[in-house]
Structure 1
């Protein structure tokens, strides 16, 4: 009994003194969670570069929900920081002024009594705010485990699918995805039916629901499934006692959506969903992405880049990014490069360089004001700022009249252009 009382006393002291650590961890977590937005931006660019455009919507799903999860996480930590700071203020006030006072009030007795009738007790407020702060960390890290595992698992599955698709039938590779989606649908249906009031005492149905939930949780959350179920069951089993926590969860969701709507503008996530249906870059509009002097903050190029919208020389320099997924399209268009085992590695590299240079010319087409032009391309491996692979080309515009012009860049496939951009520029001759 004495050991139990000592353990309870230690736990109680830990609860009472944990606020200092919570504030410190919360401040660090706010900084760390906002840094995670950079990872989402990098992931979106990675998917744009690697995935075939037909799979962009999967990349969009992964990055968008990852961004939403991090936004909710960041919102939780910010809300926690302010709530805990407010709690510290309430505790400080309570130590000086244990309760409201009518006799010592600076206002009239009638006014003071009326105001106090609509205000909660100070100790009640301290307890409620403390309860809210205490649960935020568990919820925050549960969200992180859930969405983090789902995002990583989905990304690995997608990359494995692409690696094995050349050797294994796509239908076989999709079987795990069908099983997971089917299990989730089945769980939703069985859970909804088993939670009906008339079915809560049906033992076989409840046991079936338990088995399905456990299986789906193991598949969905991997090694973290028990930790996630533990936290969710603590909330679920105490829902009737602490309904106010449900409103807190709603606040997290709303604030997370607001943060997501702000942060998504700083990434290329929209490219993953828009470019699967229609052109991301409208040929009747101009974009800062096209011009080197306007896109200096870009860490990833989605379009070709020229020096400026105003060209005052006789040569126009253009950089055309080459995405990783183009390798398969290039092989379909130009045929695969075949190595000769008799050649040395140096000779093989030289032959491959010639093959690539010729192929780039075949599936890249440039035109100015609708007239096709020849371009001298340099195999340019890395853009100096974004470090993307691409082609550096020079266009002779000496004989083009001063004024507004358009240069069109097309990446040709077997049946249609899989990418194309129209870049306006204004030529001015030097005096």
Structure 2
């Protein structure tokens, strides 16, 4: 029988130089399925365990910063958690397709003839003809599942590279803006301006390649020289080659894009990236809820915060509320004569308001030394709050500036006398920026902390 060259061999015979790889492609192809299953199995469910840890790290770090630094941390969380969620879902889909593929191969080995249409009950000629055309046989399903699994796996690695690289440059751009903003009086606005300037410059440079392509195509079609356009395009692409791992990204992207329907590819490509940021943003916005999905129609989120919420009690701060920045007391039950109250300092909210209201700060910073520094901090933060016990105002003159390593926060700590109260339920009410309005970043925020005074249970009364 006469030997016929494959298309690849024909191309090589026509003048293409074969790539002398260390391992033959066919040998690699035989093991691709095993490698895909191994990678997906290792990463699919392990990735789902990472986002809660990333969120916890973000919460603990964001307590200490504001402005651009907080945006850097927030974007780092969105990229890290979004990448984990997107990859986990993609790998689970890939595992499901591969599991189906393995099952169909098992059927093929057990029943080589596949579907025996003549032995199916209640299947007439119309139904039989429709299904024979639409679903095909086992061989078609094996080939289709194998193709789909390989495409999903390649698309997953592509999205991972793009999301990670984009996130890296966004974080580096924000950090560069923050560092450059230190040269100006208003650091935050200068940092944002520098970041937007860098992003705009990068986008303008990126438009150079499509512009050069269009100009070169038009000039060459008209028979004119397009050398300058080609040089411009190549220089732009060379610059982008320093910024983007082109061999890692574009090799996979262009292979998929040129062999798949363009609309479907772009929908899956952009949809995966949008999903990554959507799911991480949704988790961030709802992480303090008792459940992401619930049916509480009577005792909802607002009622829970207005009642007894575990975030206000140090002994109950578990799960997502470990880093919630709200005023807190040690426990819901008090037996001593004094109740400890900790009012946390939250730079994201306090810094701007303190810059406007607190005398003694130098450009919003406390540059005093020694005891004067602590006294200035106390007076400044105390001016932002009002405290009341059962409706009676509580002065903050005896509160002290403090650092709580156990909570990972700084703030004001004071002891409120409760020994003269009657046993039973009492309420602390705190208001941040009590003169603020009902909306906006500086709006009035009210916190209510119920507690039970139980001296007869936890601390026996002295004998008369």
Q: Does the TM-score normalized on the shorter chain lie above 0.5?
A: yes
Partners of 1:211 and 1:96 lie apart in 2 by 57
What aligned pairs does 1:123-134 form with structure 2 within 5 A after superposition?
123-134=139-150
8 A contact 1:27–1:81 mirrored in 2: yes
The equivalent residue for 2:128 is 113
State the Cα distance separating 1:82 from its structure 2 match. Answer: 1.1
State the Cα distance separating 1:113 from its structure 2 match. Answer: 3.0
The equivalent residue for 1:85 is 99
8 A contact 1:72–1:256 mirrored in 2: yes
Partners of 1:5 and 1:162 lie apart in 2 by 47
Partners of 1:400 and 1:12 lie apart in 2 by 83
State the Cα distance separating 1:165 from its structure 2 match. Answer: 2.7
8 A contact 1:363–1:411 mirrored in 2: no
The equivalent residue for 2:455 is 430
8 A contact 1:320–1:391 mirrored in 2: yes
Partners of 2:200 and 2:445 lie apart in 1 by 36
Partners of 2:401 and 2:446 lie apart in 1 by 20
Partners of 2:95 and 2:288 lie apart in 1 by 30
State the Cα distance separating 1:76 from its structure 2 match. Answer: 0.8
State the Cα distance separating 1:91 from its structure 2 match. Answer: 1.8
State the Cα distance separating 1:261 from its structure 2 match. Answer: 6.9
State the Cα distance separating 1:126 from its structure 2 match. Answer: 1.6
The equivalent residue for 2:47 is 33
8 A contact 1:330–1:359 mirrored in 2: no
Larger Rg: 2
| Deviation larger for 358-367 or 2-11 | 2-11
**Gaps spanning 5+ residues in structure 2: where?**
1-8, 290-300, 436-440, 457-464
Normalised TM-score (structure 2):
0.67
The equivalent residue for 1:177 is 196
Partners of 2:287 and 2:257 lie apart in 1 by 36
State the Cα distance separating 1:14 from its structure 2 match. Answer: 1.6
Number of aligned positions between the proteins: 402
Deviations 1:28-76 (A, max 9, x none): 1123422331454145326633442587566555543543333222211
Q: How large is the RMSD of aligned CA atoms in angstroms?
A: 4.8
8 A contact 1:44–1:63 mirrored in 2: yes
Partners of 2:218 and 2:35 lie apart in 1 by 45
Normalised TM-score (structure 1):
0.71
8 A contact 2:311–2:322 mirrored in 1: no
8 A contact 1:321–1:390 mirrored in 2: yes
1:31 counterpart SS class = coil
Instruction: Specify whether residues 103 and 127 from structure 1 end up closer, same or farther in structure 2 by C-alpha distance, changes over 3 A only.
Output: closer
Instruction: Specify whether residues 116 and 218 from structure 1 end up closer, same or farther in structure 2 by C-alpha distance, changes over 3 A only.
Output: same
- Alignment of 1:224 with 2:249, yes or no, is no
8 A contact 2:333–2:453 mirrored in 1: yes
**Gaps spanning 5+ residues in structure 1: where?**
270-279, 340-350
8 A contact 2:313–2:331 mirrored in 1: yes
Deviations 1:109-128 (A, max 9, x none): 73783544442332222222
- Alignment of 1:139 with 2:159, yes or no, is no
Instruction: Specify whether residues 209 and 202 from structure 1 end up closer, same or farther in structure 2 by C-alpha distance, changes over 3 A only.
Output: farther
Deviations 1:225-252 (A, max 9, x none): 4422332222222234x87656655774
Partners of 1:82 and 1:328 lie apart in 2 by 51
1:381 counterpart SS class = strand
8 A contact 1:404–1:426 mirrored in 2: yes
Tell me which of 373, 387, 391 is aligned to 2:395: 373
